[in-house]
Amino acid sequence: MRYDCVVIGGGLSGLTCGIRLAEKGARCAVISTGMSALHFSSGSIDLFGYNGDGRTVFRPFEFLDEFIGSHPLHPYARCGSSRVREALFYFRDTLAREDIDLYNNEDANHFHVTTLGTLKPTFFSQRSVFNEKIRLAFEKKSKIAALNFEGYRDFYPELAVINLRRNILFRNIEVISGKLLYPDYGDPQRNPFEYRSIDIARIFDTERYIEDLAAQIRAAAGDAAFAAMPAFLGITNFRRHHQLLQQLTGLLIYEIPTLPPSILGMRIDNALKSRFAALGGVYIAGDTVKGGTIAGGRLKSVATVNGGGSELEAGSFVLASGSFFSGGLVSEFSRVREPVFGLRVYSDAERSKWHAPEFFPRGGHPFLEYGVETDERLNPFTDDGQTLKNLYCTGALLPHYNPIREGTGGGVAVSTGYRAAELILSGNR
Amino acid sequence: MRRIETRAIVIGGGATGAGTLRDLSLRGVPAVLIEKSDIASGTTGRNHGLLHSGTRYAVNDLESARECIRENKILKKIARHCIEDTGGLFVTLPEDDPSYHGKLIEHCKYAGIRCEEISVQEALRIEPNLNPGILAALRVPDGTIDPFRLTSANILDAQERGATVLTHTGVSGIIREGDRAAGVRCRDRGTGEEFEVYGEIIVNASGVWGQELCASAGIELRMFPSKGSMVIIDYRINNVVVNRCRVPSDGDIIVPGDTVSLIGTTSKKVDYDKIDEISVDEDEIATLLESGEKLIPNVSRTRVLRAYCGVRPLIAVSGEMDGREISRGIVLIDHEKRDSVGGIITIAGGKLMTYRLMAEMAADLACAKLKVRKRCRTQKTALPGSERRLDQAKSVKFFTGIPNSVVGSTLYRHGQRIRNILHREKRNYGLICECEMVTEGEIEYALKKLNVKDIVDLRRRTRIGMGPCQGQLCAYRAAGLFVKYDSATSTESNKMLVDFLEERWKGIKPVLWGDALREVEFSYWIYQGLFGLGDVRFPEEGEDR
């Protein structure tokens, strides 16, 4: 098979890249081993949440302008501030076509509430997680009802409420809690005390139970203006059901991301795959790239585990295979390596330096900042030092940034994915 | 200041302290046990969980070997649910001295240990993962024992017979009245409350920590701590205990336990003032993995789950300081005779295997001083949960409707007490820890009956968070259940979630490569990236109450 571009990795970065390429008419394939990190994410897209001292960044683009100058190796510096902006709003428009409406507070960050009631600065959130009405109600100090399903083992609002109450932003805001019952949908084999977020989401993907749920929410929320609940509103019909529930209850219904699988992240994952397919992209699921043929400083083709003898040829390739967790990087007793092409990796030689002494360190863990070294055009280097001119590395695979400490994971994935697509497109023309 | 009066005070909630408390309770002596942390959190919970047959000691220490095999037979009857009668092998590798094999057979005979020479083929049939290059094999009655379960069962029995157990309570010093130790000053580490406990006899069962304790009563007790490190691998790669047939050395045993296997052990001297800060060294991990691989080649292809270490409490018999008289056996000291301080005795040395015998010796001496003329009953009285032989088929039938795997795991961990835990109610058997099949009902039971103060304690009672994911999802769920069952406030639950993850981290750090690193990235992503747990600010003590 021959493509214009083969993207290795079907996560946030790989799909953003693939969509941009396909949209511009490139024949494009995305190869994905399995579920991407979106399934474990908050479903909000962070741009820049914290500065070097761990303080909250309020205006991320302004911050970025300055930051890039002093951090030339950071993935955002590889893109440039204006291209990061272009990429993020491109991403928002892409999801809008798939019926996911992302909220952003103009150029500023907003906060989403976590499962534990801490606040995370982020740039885009789905409108069921944050929107203007929520902000207004919040500013009026309206009462919040934290509701949960009886026996749902993956969400305990009590643990969140105590932390919210202690937060200065929530001072003088009353938070009450209440219980909801699952509808009896007639599967005696399943134990409702073992439901995961996805089981609940599937129940509420059908309209059948929405009315009953609305009545329960009204009763449990009392005179509150908000009902905050674990994200449960389905994967496909969530937007309609969210509106319906708000109409029926007269309340603002607010979703909180929970333990994986992340319903909010899965919606984005679905939307991206759907958009990619609509543009004629080929999505190869459940296969893994195991190596490739390199000649004259270029990657000619890649071989996959399920591909038999045949290789996938392309003019350009994108490696968006993620970090350790997704298998893009592999660590061994005394080294870190990139497993597909053996690319040059940035890491510390001594294993004792890979991590901080505590699990929750102020400065984050060094291993999160390891990854495949690239030049300014995101091209990596082989073991013997040659640059692979037609291979572009994006997303969590890249080094010199710390997605969790900085709150940059989603933004880096989107903007480097988009950047790689632009480089490929300009190179081809 | 609150003042508690009792007859006997036991200090230390390891196996020996718990055993002593139970022994005294069986003889009708009112007793209070004080433990600074959780039960089985010190040396007791930090060994490889081997139910010794005594073979390992047969050549060098016949006395210990005899004690081991005697206690081995007793424990197989009284602590059935804490034990797996796996059997054990001693295998000779090509590089090992072949004469040790014969010597071991001979000395086992002296010690009364049934030690049977088997063919290499037979050994490989019993343990297919064994290195096929071994030259000779012996079969011995080794088994495995779960130290947490054992200690908890002793405590549970004592409490049901009226004893008082104070965990997370530090002893700040012994109260002297003239030439006697009359009681102890305590501090509840949760609430900060200070109080005193008075009794006619104090049993110091605090192991290696006894040096400090005795010093507070003006008694000199000299410990010679030695560190032992172990590595846990993430699958049960062997079903029988595999020992290397050579002079005792580092990395010569692999013990299966529940869902994992353990490679033990190293031995390094540590300074007394460092005993609470010990950690596993890089070279120890390399040694253990290299040696383990020689016994079972699969070791190198299996994920390493964690590494941990404990301190052996070796003790100087006389008050002398030069360390020549270090004993590896059981030491019972009557401080009235030795140091002219009445009202206190020390039981130390020994091994997890001989905890019951040590408890019997301590309780005998305590009873003599209290003038209680009751005999020890612990050789014959089964621990709670072990009253009858465990019959999985019968339990599965009794609990029809509940998944067999849940019934099996609960029975395995709690023996007959399964009847107090499982009910045919969906809430009860809904899984909280999916790696180790821990249900909400088991957690509720542990919170209400087994002296659980935090998630780390809960792990020791139930195995929650001990599996491959090391508490990724279940830690949060458990924190929620503490609030649900009124066992903690929301703030305390948040705090114990941090403490639990930091505690797990200690054991993962030394083995942070491969899948362990992947798992950590995921956990950190959830608890910091998704939950922001590291950003939670905890109020100063008392602010929330």
| B458: amino acid identity, one letter | L
User: Which chain B residues are Cβ-neighbours of A260 within 8 angstroms?
Assistant: 473, 526
Q: A1-40 b/e with 16+ CB inside 10 Å = b?
A: eebbbbbbbbbbbbbbbbbbbbbbebbbbbbbbebbbbbb
Q: Is A158 on the interface with B (CB under 8 A)?
A: yes
Cross-strand partners of B143: B51
Interchain proximity B531–A156, CB inside 8 Å? no
Same domain, B193 and B329: yes
Dist. CA A131–CA B280, nearest whole Å: 50
Dist. CA B473–CA A337, nearest whole Å: 29
- B90 within 8 A of B137, measured Cβ to Cβ: yes
Q: Is residue B403 part of a domain?
A: no
Interchain proximity A158–B480, CB inside 8 Å? yes
Same domain, B218 and B236: no
| B60: amino acid identity, one letter | N
| Residue carrying the six token digits 């603002």 | A252
Nearest residue, CB atoms, B536 vs list A163, A323, A365: A163
Neighbours of A371 (CB within 10 A): 28
Same domain, B343 and B356: yes
Q: Is residue B392 part of a domain?
A: no
| Residue carrying the six token digits 């993995």 | B289
Written in H, E and C, the secondary structure of chain A is: CEEEEEEECCCHHHHHHHHHHHHCCCCEEEEECCCCHHHHCCCCECCCCECCCCCECCCHHHHHHHHHHHCCCCHHHHHCHHHHHHHHHHHHHHHHHCCCCEECECCECEEEECCCCCEEEECEEECCCCCHHHHHHHHCCCCEEEEEECCCCCCCHHHHHHHHHHCHHHCCCCEEEEEECCCCCCCCCCCHHHCCHHHHHHHCCCHHHHHHHHHHHHHHHCCCCEEEEECCCCCCCHHHHHHHHHHHHCCEEEEECCCCCCHHHHHHHHHHHHHHHHCCCEEEECCCEEEEEEECCEEEEEEECCCCCCCEEEEEEEECCCCCCCCCCEEECCEEECCCCCCCEECCCCHHHCCCCCCCCCCCCHHHHCEECECCCCCEECCCCCECCCEEECHHHCCCCCHHHHCCHHHHHHHHHHHHHHHHHHHHC
Choose from B455, B531, B533 for mutation: most chain A CBs within 10 A: B531
Neighbours of B523 (CB within 10 A): 23
Q: Is residue B447 part of a domain?
A: yes
Nearest residue, CB atoms, B512 vs list A42, A325, A355: A355
Residue of B nearest to A161 (CA): B490
What pLDDT sits at residue B545? 40
Domain count, chain B: 3
Residue of A nearest to B537 (CA): A163
Q: DSSP for B298-355, please give it.
A: GGGGS-EEEEEEEEEEEEESSS-SS-TTEESSEEEEEHHHHHS-BTEEEEEES-GGGH
Spans of all domains in chain A: 2-98+266-321+387-428, 130-256
Nearest residue, CB atoms, A323 vs list B493, B497, B521: B521
In terms of Cα–Cα distance, which of B430, B448, B449, B427 is closest to B438?
A: B430
Choose from A116, A167, A198 for mutation: most chain B CBs within 10 A: A116
Interchain proximity B282–A360, CB inside 8 Å? no
Same domain, B472 and B324: no
Which residues, numbered 116 to 155 in chain A, qualify as contacts with chain B under a Cβ-Cβ cut-off of 8 Å?
116, 118-120, 151, 153-155
Which residues, numbered 416 to 435 in chain B, qualify as contacts with chain A under a Cβ-Cβ cut-off of 8 Å?
426-427, 429-432
Which residues, numbered 225 to 264 in chain A, qualify as contacts with chain B under a Cβ-Cβ cut-off of 8 Å?
257, 259-260, 262
Choose the final residue of a domain: B307, B337, B353: B307
What interhelical angle do A12-23 and A81-97 show, nearest 10? 80
User: Which chain B residues are Cβ-neighbours of A166 within 8 angstroms?
Assistant: 537, 539
First to last CA, chain A: 22
HSE, side-chain direction, 13 A CA sphere, residue A21: 31
Q: Is residue B57 part of a domain?
A: no
What does DSSP assign to residue B487?
S
| Cβ neighbours for B278, distance < 8 A, ≥ 6 positions apart | B227, B270, B309, B311
Interchain proximity A116–B531, CB inside 8 Å? yes
pLDDT tens digits, residue range B523-536?
Answer: 999 999 999 999 99
Residue of B nearest to A368 (CA): B521
Task: Report whether pLDDT(A189) > 60.
Answer: yes
Handedness of CA B124, B129, B135, B139 (dihedral sign): negative
Nearest residue, CB atoms, B477 vs list A153, A331, A334: A153
Interchain proximity A325–B513, CB inside 8 Å? no
HSE, side-chain direction, 13 A CA sphere, residue A19: 30
Same domain, B100 and B239: yes
- A272 within 8 A of A16, measured Cβ to Cβ: yes
Rounded mean pLDDT of A55-75?
96
Surface-to-core class of residue B30, CB atoms within 10 Å of its CB (0-12 exposed, 13-18 middle, 19+ buried)? middle
Domain spanning A130-256, CATH class: alpha beta
| C-alpha to C-alpha distances, B316 to B331, B349, B386, nearest whole angstrom | 9, 9, 36
Read off the CATH number of the domain in which B9 is found: 3.50.50.60
Q: Is B485 on the interface with A (CB under 8 A)?
A: no
HSE, side-chain direction, 13 A CA sphere, residue B65: 22
Q: Is residue B498 part of a domain?
A: yes
| B155: amino acid identity, one letter | I
Q: DSSP for B28-92, please give it.
A: T--EEEE-SS-TT-SGGGSS--EE--SHHHHTT-HHHHHHHHHHHHHHHHH-GGGEE---EEEEE
Interchain proximity B501–A360, CB inside 8 Å? yes
Task: Report whether pLDDT(A197) > 60.
Answer: yes
What is the least distance, in Å, from the CA of B281 to any CA of chain A? 10
Q: Is residue B410 part of a domain?
A: no
Tens digit of pLDDT per residue, chain B (545 long)?
Answer: 899 999 999 999 999 999 999 999 999 999 999 999 999 999 999 999 999 999 999 998 999 999 999 999 999 999 999 999 999 999 999 999 999 999 999 999 999 999 999 999 999 999 999 999 999 999 999 999 999 999 999 999 999 999 999 999 999 999 999 999 999 999 999 999 999 999 999 999 999 999 999 999 999 998 989 999 999 999 999 999 999 999 989 999 999 998 899 999 999 989 999 999 999 999 999 999 999 999 999 999 899 999 999 998 888 765 554 445 566 689 999 999 999 999 999 999 999 999 999 999 999 999 999 999 999 999 999 999 999 988 899 999 999 999 999 999 999 999 999 999 999 999 999 999 999 999 999 999 999 999 999 999 999 999 999 988 888 999 999 999 999 999 999 999 999 999 999 999 999 999 999 999 999 999 999 999 999 999 998 876 555 44
CB pairs under 8 A between A and B: 138
Same domain, B120 and B9: no
Same domain, B194 and B157: yes
Same domain, B326 and B448: no
- B374 within 8 A of B247, measured Cβ to Cβ: no
- Note down the domain range covering B524: 430-535
- B66 within 8 A of B58, measured Cβ to Cβ: no
Same domain, B159 and B256: no
Q: Is residue B132 part of a domain?
A: yes
Interchain proximity A325–B529, CB inside 8 Å? no
pLDDT tens digits, residue range A313-330?
Answer: 999 999 999 999 999 999
- B121 within 8 A of B91, measured Cβ to Cβ: no
What pLDDT sits at residue A168? 85
Pinpoint the alpha helices (H) of B404-439.
404-414, 418-421, 426-429
Dist. CA A150–CA A170, nearest whole Å: 26
Q: Is B539 on the interface with A (CB under 8 A)?
A: yes
What is the least distance, in Å, from the CA of B305 to any CA of chain A? 13
User: Which chain A residues are Cβ-neighbours of B498 within 8 angstroms?
Assistant: 360
| Residue carrying the six token digits 């190198």 | B300
Residue of A nearest to B510 (CA): A352
Interchain proximity A368–B521, CB inside 8 Å? yes
Which residues, numbered 276 to 335 in chain A, qualify as contacts with chain B under a Cβ-Cβ cut-off of 8 Å?
323-325, 327, 330-334
Residue of A nearest to B402 (CA): A191
Dist. CA B272–CA B224, nearest whole Å: 7
- B73 within 8 A of B143, measured Cβ to Cβ: no
| C-alpha to C-alpha distances, A380 to A295, A399, A428, nearest whole angstrom | 15, 11, 19
Dist. CA B404–CA B384, nearest whole Å: 23
Which residues, numbered 279 to 298 in chain B, qualify as contacts with chain A under a Cβ-Cβ cut-off of 8 Å?
282
pLDDT tens digits, residue range A396-407?
Answer: 999 999 999 999
pTM for the full predicted model:
0.95
Phi-psi region of B158 (alpha: psi -120 to 50; beta: other; left: phi over 0): alpha
User: Which chain B residues are Cβ-neighbours of A153 within 8 angstroms?
Assistant: 430, 432, 440, 477, 480
Dist. CA A394–CA A416, nearest whole Å: 5
User: Which chain A residues are Cβ-neighbours of B526 within 8 angstroms?
Assistant: 40, 259-260
In terms of Cα–Cα distance, which of B81, B46, B107 is closest to B352?
A: B46
Q: Is B469 on the interface with A (CB under 8 A)?
A: no
Nearest residue, CB atoms, B534 vs list A162, A331, A360: A360
Same domain, B235 and B288: yes
ipTM of the shown complex: 0.97
Same domain, B323 and B209: yes
What pLDDT sits at residue B273? 93
Nearest residue, CB atoms, B426 vs list A166, A192, A351: A192
Interchain proximity B529–A42, CB inside 8 Å? yes
Q: DSSP for B176-240, please give it.
A: EETTEEEEEEEEETTT--EEEEE-SEEEE--GGGHHHHHHTTT----EEEEEEEEEEESS---SS
Dist. CA A193–CA A180, nearest whole Å: 13
User: Which chain B residues are Cβ-neighbours of A191 within 8 angstroms?
Assistant: 426, 429-430
What is the least distance, in Å, from the CA of A404 to any CA of chain B? 5
pLDDT tens digits, residue range A235-282?
Answer: 988 999 999 999 999 999 999 999 999 999 999 999 999 999 999 999
Same domain, B459 and B505: yes
Nearest residue, CB atoms, B531 vs list A114, A192, A355: A114
pLDDT tens digits, residue range A319-360?
Answer: 999 999 999 999 999 999 999 999 999 999 999 999 999 999
Domain spanning A2-98+266-321+387-428, CATH class: alpha beta
Interchain proximity B477–A404, CB inside 8 Å? no
What pLDDT sits at residue A24? 97
Q: Is A159 on the interface with B (CB under 8 A)?
A: yes
Q: Is A354 on the interface with B (CB under 8 A)?
A: yes
Q: Is B537 on the interface with A (CB under 8 A)?
A: yes
Q: How many residues belong to chain A? A: 429
Q: Is A337 on the interface with B (CB under 8 A)?
A: no
- B138 within 8 A of B116, measured Cβ to Cβ: yes
Mean pLDDT of chain A: 94
In terms of Cα–Cα distance, which of B270, B264, B222 is closest to B243?
A: B264
Q: Is residue B200 part of a domain?
A: yes
Nearest residue, CB atoms, B514 vs list A332, A352, A367: A332
Q: Token digits for B162?
A: 């009226």
In terms of Cα–Cα distance, which of B12, B8, B3, B1 is closest to B355?
A: B12
Dist. CA B453–CA B440, nearest whole Å: 16
